[in-house]
């Protein structure tokens, strides 16, 4: 009995280290919800094909005896959120742009991100910088779709010099090398407002509902996205 008790204590310590502050019941409920969410995501994806490697990663959620850490469940949640966002961008780009532009500027980089999501080490969540880099690239491509669609719609217009300069600046921001920074986003969105009077062109249509709501397990100090037990995204910021 002393040996059995000692082994049980060791098992309990390992489970606590894996599960963190959450109970085994809470982790199991998250596992079941994520399994259903993966099935729903795979069913709804229109432009992304779930291959064997991707499916195998998520089908481990069906193993009731497997112990999942909070970190690995957070990783899976993040990947599903990104897959849904990427698929929306692929659909939007394919509907609005000529095939050659869509394939070269939109499809190629987005499908590269999909490969990157599953090449990540599948035993811990993304680092903060990785999440920021992926989000920045999605924001760049969202605006790239906008500016390429705008250019097509303005082919019959005679632009003023300052308007052409604005178009060139937006193209530069979305095609320059390096990360698409918050400052780049701000400059681009300000330029968009100058063209909303042409042809009743709408704005970017970006709101918080459409943004990628990323779950984080990094104990970040500033404002970051989280997901409540009911699956609703929310953000906590510093006062």
Of residues 85, 66, 73, 90, the one with CA closest to residue 34: 73
Residue 90 pLDDT > 80: yes
Tell me the average pLDDT of the chain: 82
pTM of the prediction?
Answer: 0.77
10 & 32 share domain? yes
Residue 218 pLDDT > 90: no
97 & 56 share domain? yes
108 & 179 share domain? no
Q: Rounded to whole angstroms, how far apart are CA atoms 219 and 237?
A: 12
174 & 89 share domain? no
Give the sign of the dihedral formed by CA 136, CA 142, CA 145, CA 151: negative
Q: Is 219 inside a domain boundary?
A: no
139 & 46 share domain? no
What are the φ and ψ backbone dihedral angles of 69, each rounded to 5 degrees?
A: -80, 160
Task: Please tell me whether residue 33 adopts helix, strand or coil conformation.
Answer: helix
9 & 67 share domain? yes
Question: What is the largest distance, in Å, between two alpha-carbon atoms of the chain?
Answer: 88
Tokens linked to 104: 């070269």
Q: Is 211 inside a domain boundary?
A: no
Per-residue confidence at 219, pLDDT binned at 50, 70, 90? Answer: very low
105 & 190 share domain? no
80 & 102 share domain? yes
| Structural domain count, the chain | 2
11 & 84 share domain? yes
191 & 92 share domain? no
Which residues constitute the domain of residue 88?
Answer: 1-126
Q: Is 153 inside a domain boundary?
A: yes
User: How high is the pLDDT of residue 107?
Assistant: 97
Q: Is 230 inside a domain boundary?
A: no
User: How high is the pLDDT of residue 29?
Assistant: 92
152 & 93 share domain? no
179 & 193 share domain? yes
Q: Is 196 inside a domain boundary?
A: yes
């Amino acid at each position: 009995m002393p040996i059995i008790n000692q082994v049980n204590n060791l098992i309990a310590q390992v489970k606590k280290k894996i599960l963190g502050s959450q109970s085994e019941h809470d982790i199991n409920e998250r596992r079941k919800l994520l399994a259903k969410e993966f099935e729903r995501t795979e069913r709804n994806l229109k432009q992304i094909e779930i291959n064997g490697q991707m499916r195998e990663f998520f089908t481990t959620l069906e193993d009731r005896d497997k112990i999942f850490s909070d970190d690995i469940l957070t990783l899976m949640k993040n990947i599903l959120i990104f897959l849904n966002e990427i698929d929306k961008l692929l659909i939007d780009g394919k509907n609005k742009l000529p095939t050659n532009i869509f394939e070269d500027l939109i499809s190629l980089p987005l499908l590269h991100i999909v490969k990157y999501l599953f090449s990540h080490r599948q035993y811990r969540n993304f680092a903060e910088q990785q999440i920021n880099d992926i989000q920045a690239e999605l924001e760049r491509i969202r605006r790239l779709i906008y500016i390429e669609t705008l250019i097509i719609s303005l082919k019959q217009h005679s632009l003023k010099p300052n308007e052409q300069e604005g178009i060139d600046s937006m193209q530069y921001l979305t095609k320059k090398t390096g990360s698409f920074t918050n400052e780049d986003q701000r400059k681009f969105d300000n330029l968009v407002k100058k063209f909303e009077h042409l042809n009743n062109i709408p704005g970017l249509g970006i709101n918080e509902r459409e943004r990628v709501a990323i779950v984080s397990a990094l104990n970040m100090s500033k404002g970051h996205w989280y997901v409540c037990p009911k699956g609703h995204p929310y953000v906590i910021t510093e006062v």
